[in-house]
Structure 1
Amino acid sequence: MGNKVTTFTDQQLENYQDCTYFTRKEILTVFQRFRELDPKRVPQVMTCDESHTIAVPIEKIEKLPELKENPFKTRICKVFSHDGSGNMTFDDFLDMLSVFSEQATRDVKAFYAFKIYDYDDDGIISVQDLQQTVTELVRNELTHEEVSIICEKVLEEADNDDDRRVSYMEFQHVITRAPEFLSTFHMRI
């Protein structure tokens, strides 16, 4: 009876519920997955500030089954890590899985998808960002010319103001016409 380990305080769990799409039970499941990535580094009890100070290296996070084969795994880790390194604290990891959950809204998913494709973090998806995105997606299997053709087609479809860049509003417009987006921007816990 007295052997129950308290991973988080009730207040911590309540705070996590308030800022994610998860229940208490799901938060604890996410924590177990996080701890399994590096059990020597991540303690069983995180009732102090460990949840936002102890980070698991990007190399271990990229080995998650949901990320392992994803061509954007490194970029995803960098976008969700608080310092941009790709190394993740539990708070970062929980945020990532919350955004990729079925409960997250289309707008939240679109916001983070835009950040993932905006490689230079300037708030615009430029031709260079598109080229990097396509190159990652096709895993360097196309020539530079073929990548350029695809980027031109994307701009034709998405660049409504003809400035050769995709703004967040233009990106959102494209996402609203892509019904498969919600099912592809998704990870199960």
Structure 2
Amino acid sequence: MGNSSSMLTQYDIEEVQCHCDNLFTQQEIVSLYQRFCQLDRNSKGYILADEFLSVPEFAMNPLSQRLLKMVDGLNFKDFVAFLSAFSAKASIQRKIEFMFKVYDADLNGKVSFNDMIEVLQDLSGPFMSDDQRKQVLSQLLEEAGYTKEVHLTQDDFVKILANSDLKMEVEVPVD
């Protein structure tokens, strides 16, 4: 499995399934492996950030620069683990943990008001002013019982978003 030109064995498939908490079927893992091999242009056994940008949906994502920090150098097992947050079978907890990592760009385990503003800016672009972003975010935090001076932890993120209806799903095409 280290060399992306090799074939997956049954053991490899089961190991990857276990690594991603069985969120993908064996057939989906084989399809993901084929896609991984396509992205791994030089058969290095891992995917570089620029290779991810060859996926149009990824390159067009307003959060692509933040996501690139998370995906640069992923081997196949970690590639599947990364994608597992987008599985229809993934728990809300897993999706929120993934979102927290997107917001926590400096990887300090905390998300500040400014971190949240940056993500909101990436998502809204020129369609919202800085004042509008600050107002919306301040109101959201206030409704959740926080102030803009707070530094949210992953547990805070779970508390705030646990009852939301997050739609973070990508369908894995199976041949």
TM-score (norm 2): 0.81
Superposed CA offset, 1:59-110 (max 9, x none) = 221332442322112222323x3xxxx2432222211222211111111111
Deviation larger for 15-24 or 135-144: 135-144
Q: 1:169 to 1:161 in 2, by over 3 A?
A: farther
The equivalences for 1:34-53 within 5 A come to 34-38=36-40, 40-42=41-43
- Does residue 92 (structure 1) correspond to residue 78 (structure 2)? The answer is yes
Q: 1:126 to 1:159 in 2, by over 3 A?
A: farther
Q: State how far apart, in whole Å, the 2-side matches of 1:145 and 1:160 are.
A: 19
Q: State the match for 1:57 in structure 2.
A: 48
Superposed CA offset, 1:115-154 (max 9, x none) = 1111222222101111111111112443332332233123
Q: State how far apart, in whole Å, the 1-side matches of 2:129 and 2:147 are.
A: 28
Structure 1: state its 5+ residue gaps: 43-49
Residue 41 of structure 1 contacts residue 56 of structure 1 at CA under 8 Å; is this kept in 2? no
- Does residue 114 (structure 1) correspond to residue 100 (structure 2)? The answer is yes
Query: By how many angstroms is 1:161 displaced?
Result: 7.3
Residue 159 of structure 1 contacts residue 166 of structure 1 at CA under 8 Å; is this kept in 2? no
Query: By how many angstroms is 1:162 displaced?
Result: 7.4
Q: State the match for 2:69 in structure 1.
A: 78
Q: State how far apart, in whole Å, the 1-side matches of 2:164 and 2:11 are.
A: 39
Residue 77 of structure 1 contacts residue 88 of structure 1 at CA under 8 Å; is this kept in 2? no
- What secondary structure, in the 3-state scheme, does the structure 2 residue paired with 1:88 have? coil
Percent identity between matched residues is 25
Deviation larger for 123-132 or 156-165: 156-165
Structure 2: state its 5+ residue gaps: none
Q: State how far apart, in whole Å, the 2-side matches of 1:159 and 1:73 are.
A: 30
Query: By how many angstroms is 1:10 displaced?
Result: 2.5
Q: 1:24 to 1:167 in 2, by over 3 A?
A: same
Query: By how many angstroms is 1:173 displaced?
Result: 2.1
Q: State the match for 2:129 in structure 1.
A: 143
- Does residue 164 (structure 1) correspond to residue 155 (structure 2)? The answer is no
Residue 55 of structure 1 contacts residue 89 of structure 1 at CA under 8 Å; is this kept in 2? yes
Residue 100 of structure 2 contacts residue 157 of structure 2 at CA under 8 Å; is this kept in 1? yes
Q: 1:157 to 1:170 in 2, by over 3 A?
A: farther
- Does residue 67 (structure 1) correspond to residue 58 (structure 2)? The answer is yes
Superposed CA offset, 1:5-28 (max 9, x none) = 961222222211112212221111
Query: By how many angstroms is 1:113 displaced?
Result: 0.9
Residue 56 of structure 1 contacts residue 87 of structure 1 at CA under 8 Å; is this kept in 2? yes
Residue 158 of structure 1 contacts residue 166 of structure 1 at CA under 8 Å; is this kept in 2? no
Residue 22 of structure 1 contacts residue 98 of structure 1 at CA under 8 Å; is this kept in 2? yes
Aligned residues: 166
Q: State how far apart, in whole Å, the 2-side matches of 1:131 and 1:159 are.
A: 18
Q: 1:160 to 1:146 in 2, by over 3 A?
A: closer
AA aligned opposite 2:42: R
Superposed CA RMSD: 2.4
